[in-house]
């Protein structure tokens, strides 16, 4: 039996009502795609999704209700992509940062993936804050083998001793999770990738300045030239989600105007960087 055609399928977007998620939804609708939007708040004010779901991704029960409702209300074989944009900054309590940025992404992806068809995609949003994931790879491999309850217990006991702040940890974890999930999905025809932006001009940028510190943010921007526009990050996500990227799988795509390339090749001298704040909110 031929696989259902997802080439014009619907895209599910979390965190759809503002920032990068909103910009992505605009691009998808301009491309003629139907969208299902998910957000803790009201739907995007200037768009017309097929359906909008209110969901607090900090609450596991609400994610269960969400996945059940989506599976019941829609023909899942026609879903082209799931894009996990929603996340919270490090100015939120550490438990919430871990819950939303890591566990909710994993839970939603694992719950919906069995219903998707070959050719569909999952795209997660990381951050260049997570670029150091290889330094703690063994931690993430072990942690992501745990179920949600055990992972929460681990985090409550270890969050202050992992060597980085909760936001950085969460974004490193979601980068590793995306690679692991690509492996879990092998043979299904479903791909999973992750996009990591640098600073972006969204309503959350002042919050990230509070989290990381103005000096550090301004130093990063001095090398990339400016903060990204939300649409510039959405371009990369759109390409991985519905574009001609069919052999790109398990990939960590950094979208930061070249800043990370400077770190890796040496034209950015990190020794001269202002120290970032290490925000940990109990």
DSSP structure class, residue 145:
T
H helix intervals, the chain: 19-30, 60-73, 94-98, 104-112, 137-143, 148-158, 166-184, 205-212, 214-224, 230-242, 259-265
Query: What are the residues facing 10 on neighbouring strands?
Result: 79
Q: Domain residues of the chain, as ranges?
A: 10-272
> CB-based contacts of 97: which residues, under 8 Å, 6+ apart?
88, 89, 90, 166, 167, 170
Q: Which CATH superfamily is domain 10-272 in?
A: NAD(P)-binding Rossmann-like Domain (3.40.50.720)
Pick the residue with more confidence: 278 or 169? 169
Dump pLDDT digits (tens) for 187-246: 999 999 999 999 999 999 999 999 999 999 999 999 999 999 999 999 999 999 999 999
| CA 43/CA 31 separation, integer angstroms | 19
| CA 156/CA 102 separation, integer angstroms | 14
Dump pLDDT digits (tens) for 161-172: 999 999 999 999
Q: What is the value of pTM for the model shown? A: 0.96
| CA 18/CA 233 separation, integer angstroms | 13
Dump pLDDT digits (tens) for 66-91: 999 999 999 999 999 999 999 999 99
């Amino acid at each position: 039996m031929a696989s259902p055609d997802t080439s014009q399928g619907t895209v599910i977007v979390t965190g759809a009502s503002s920032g990068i998620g909103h910009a992505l939804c605009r691009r998808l609708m301009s491309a003629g795609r139907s969208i299902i939007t998910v957000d803790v708040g009201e739907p995007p004010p200037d768009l017309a999704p097929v359906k909008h779901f209110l969901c607090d991704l900090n609450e596991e029960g609400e994610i269960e209700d969400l996945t059940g409702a989506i599976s019941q209300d829609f023909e899942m074989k026609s879903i082209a992509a799931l894009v996990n944009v929603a996340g919270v900054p490090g100015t939120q309590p550490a438990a919430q940062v871990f819950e939303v940025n890591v566990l909710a992404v994993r839970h939603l992806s694992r719950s919906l993936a069995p219903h998707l068809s070959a050719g569909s995609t999952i795209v997660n949003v990381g951050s260049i804050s997570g670029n150091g994931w290889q330094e703690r790879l063994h931690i993430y491999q072990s942690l992501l083998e745990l179920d949600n309850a055990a992972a929460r217990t681990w985090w409550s006991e270890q969050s202050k001793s992992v060597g980085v702040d909760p936001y950085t940890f969460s974004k490193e974890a979601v980068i590793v999770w995306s690679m692991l999930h690509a492996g879990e999905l092998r043979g299904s025809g479903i791909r999973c990738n992750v996009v990591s932006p640098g600073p972006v001009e969204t309503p959350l940028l002042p919050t990230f300045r509070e989290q990381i510190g103005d000096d550090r943010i301004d130093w990063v921007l001095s090398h990339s030239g400016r903060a990204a526009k939300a649409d510039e990050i959405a371009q990369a996500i759109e390409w991985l989600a519905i574009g001609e990227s069919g052999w790109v799988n398990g990939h960590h795509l950094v979208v930061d105007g070249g800043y990370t390339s400077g770190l890796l090749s040496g034209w950015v001298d990190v020794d001269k960087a202002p120290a970032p704040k290490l925000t940990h909110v109990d």
